[in-house]
A and B are shown apart, each in its own frame.
Chain A
Amino acid sequence: MNVPVAWYLVVAALLFGIGAYGLLTRRSALVMFMCIELMLNAVNLTFVSFSRTLGDVAGQASVFFVMVVAAAEVTVGLGIVVAVFRRRSSTSVDELSELHG
C-alpha cells in the first residue's frame, strides 16, 4: 500500500509556495520562468495524487495537457526574453518600466 495521498499534497503545496516566492522576489526573467515551471509541476503532482485517490484517469489526462501548454508557454516566453534582450541587453524585469504611470 502506498503512502497517504495527503503527504504528496503537502509536498505539492510546499513546492507551489517555493515557486510563488521565487516568482515574486527574483528579478531575472529566466529564473522567473523556472519558478513558473515549479508551480506548474506542483499542480501536476496534485493532479496525479488525486487521480490515484479517486481512481480516475482524468487527472492524468489533465497533466498531459498541462505539459503541452507548459512547453508552448516556455517556447514563446523564452522567445520574448530573447527579443527583449536584443533590444535592452538585459533580462531584469525591473528595467522594463516604460509602461509605469
Chain B
Amino acid sequence: MIAATYTTAGVLVFVTSSLLILVGAISVIVVKNPVHAAVSLIVTLFGVAVAFVAQSADFLAAAQIIVYAGAIVVLFLFVIMFLGVDRREGVRVDPLVGQRPFALAGVLITVGGLITLMARSHWVTGATGVANGGAPLATGQGNVRQLGTAVFTTYLFAFEATAVLLIIAVVGAVLLARRERRADEVNDEHEVGVGS
C-alpha cells in the first residue's frame, strides 16, 4: 500500500542524496586535515542540494551550490590556506573529562527525541499556504516565481534587513581581519593630525 505511493526514481534520488549528506558529514567530523574537512563539507552541501531538487526547491538548490559550495567553502579554504595547511589538532587528551561520551549521549538523546517526535506526531498535510495568498506551493517546476513573490511582498522587510545585515557583516569582517598598525605609525599619524 505504502510502496505504491512513491516510485523507484524517488527512492533512488533519496538514497543518493542521503548517502552524500551522511558520508560527507561524518567525514567532516572525522578527518584530521581541515582541507579534507572542507572538501567533505562540499559533498554534504551537494547532497543537500540534490535533496532540495527532489523536493521541488529549485531556486534554493541553485543558491545552495552557488552560495555554500561556491562562496562559503571557498572562504573556509582561503582561511585554512592563510593560517597554514598542515596545522592539525595536536593534543589528543581531553581537557574536559568525559567530554566525548557526554557529547555522544546528548546527541543521541537529541536525535532520538527528534525521530520519536516525528514518528509520534501527525503532520497536517495539504494545508493552504499563508505566505502566497492561499495558493498551494507548485511542485515540479514553477515555484521559483512563488518564492520570489513571497520574498518581495510578504517578507520584504526581512529581505531589506538582510541587506543591512550583509553590509554590517562585510564591514565587521574587514575591521576584524585588518592588520593592526604598529604603535609608531599610529603616533606619527596622531602628531600630524594634531599639527594640521
Q: Which residues of A contact B (CB under 8 A)?
A: 1-11, 13-22, 24-28, 30-31, 33-35, 37-38, 41, 44-45, 48-58, 60-61, 63-65, 67-76, 78-83, 85-86, 91-92, 94
Q: Closest Cβ of chain B: how far from A14's Cβ, in Å?
A: 6
A55 touches B129 (CB 8 A): yes
A-B contact count (CB 8 A): 256
Residues of A within 8 A of B28 (CB): 18, 22, 31, 34-35, 38
Select one of B14, B18, B108, B147 contacting A60, CB under 8 A: B147
Q: Is the CB of B137 within 8 A of A52?
A: yes
- Assuming the contacts A56-B131, A71-B72, asked whether A17 and B107 have C-beta atoms less than 8 A apart, the reply is yes
Whether, in the assembled complex, B141 has its beta carbon less than 8 Å from a beta carbon of chain A, the answer is no
Complex alpha-carbon distance, A37 and B170, angstroms: 19
Chain B: interface size category: 35 or more
With a cutoff of 8 Å between Cβ atoms, the chain A residues found around residue B80 in the complex are: 30
Of A8, A15, A27, A86, which contacts B14 at CB under 8 A? A8
B interface list, Cβ under 8 A from A? 2, 5-7, 10-11, 13-14, 17-18, 21-22, 25-26, 28-29, 34, 37-38, 41, 44-45, 48, 51-52, 54-57, 59-60, 63-64, 67-68, 71-72, 75-76, 79-80, 82-83, 87, 89-91, 95, 99-100, 103-104, 106-108, 110-111, 114-115, 118-119, 123-132, 136-137, 139, 143, 146-147, 150-151, 154-155, 158-159, 162, 165-166, 168-170, 172-177, 179-180
